[in-house]
Amino acid sequence: MSLTQTTYDELRQIAARYPEARSGLLPMLHLVQSAEGRITPEGIEACAEVLGISAAEVSGVATFYTMYKRKPVGDYHVGVCTNTLCAVMGGDAIFERLKDHLEVGNDETTDRRPEDKHSITLEHIECNAACDYAPVMTVNWEFMDDMTPQSATQLVDDLRSGAEVSSTRGARICTWREAERVLAGFPDDRADEGPSAGPASLVGLGIARENGWTAPEVEGRPAVAAGQGSRERAAESADTSRAETETKVDESPADAKHLDNPAKGDDAQ
């Protein structure tokens, strides 16, 4: 398979989004995966050509991040978190059950049976920062929460059969290539589907509201009750913080003393 002219045009479109074109490399690699099903030598060469860098530089990035795959991925990428909390809550048992059920090992893709509409790539993955829903799985990086070996088996069977599946806290699941296109920056208009947060994530907020707790006052700003505030206030705060940081950088001499080493410059031993 070779990259189409449309894909080349979209790679250039991504690069043009950034003041420094090479900042677009990560979404460009996702676009390559959307078109090719993996990171191919041709995809690496195309990114290098568009960005004016070497293929070795592109390859260095593509081999560093685990979301970029060097061999074909199935129609759905199913990840099972096997990090500490998920593991002790049942993640290891889920992963073992799915390996047996799908008859694949880690980072392997199922053979498509006559009754299957879709293939699945199974991979154990590290912490997904969703410990309050452990054990968690992902399908094309969308969360599936509070899983069990039984629900995990049903999930992959539904995916293989072509049944519609939705994320626990997100949209309907699309194919892996479609998801890669979204990660490349081409929306599929599903961003507002499904809940964005679940009960476990909101427990602390509920406790704060019940007790009337507020955030502490900062530099004369009024205290903010839990759950209150506005985007405008957040943006203003961010701008203020950025300005203060830039001022501190401008005022910092190159030979400034460090708190853990008061000696300066040539005086340091």
- In this structure, is residue 30 part of a structural domain? yes
- In this structure, is residue 175 part of a structural domain? yes
pLDDT 10s digits, 134-186: 999 999 999 999 999 999 999 999 999 999 999 999 899 999 999 999 999 99
pLDDT 10s digits, 174-184: 999 999 999 99
Range of the domain at 16: 5-62
Confidence (pLDDT) at 226 = 58
Q: How many other C-beta atoms lie within 10 A of the C-beta of residue 47?
A: 27
Assess whether 85 and 140 both reside in one domain: yes
Assess whether 127 and 167 both reside in one domain: yes
| Six token digits for residue 15 | 């690069």
Q: Are strands 76-81 and 137-139 parallel, antiparallel or unpaired?
A: antiparallel
CATH number of the domain to which 172 belongs: 3.40.30.10
What pTM did the predictor assign? 0.76
Assess whether 44 and 140 both reside in one domain: no
- In this structure, is residue 234 part of a structural domain? no
* Number of structural domains found in the chain: 2
pLDDT at 231 over 50: no
How far apart are alpha carbons 113 and 119 in whole angstroms? 9
Assess whether 140 and 107 both reside in one domain: yes
**Residue that finishes a domain, picked among 183, 210, 238:** 183
CATH number of the domain to which 28 belongs: 1.10.10
**Residue that finishes a domain, picked among 183, 215, 237:** 183
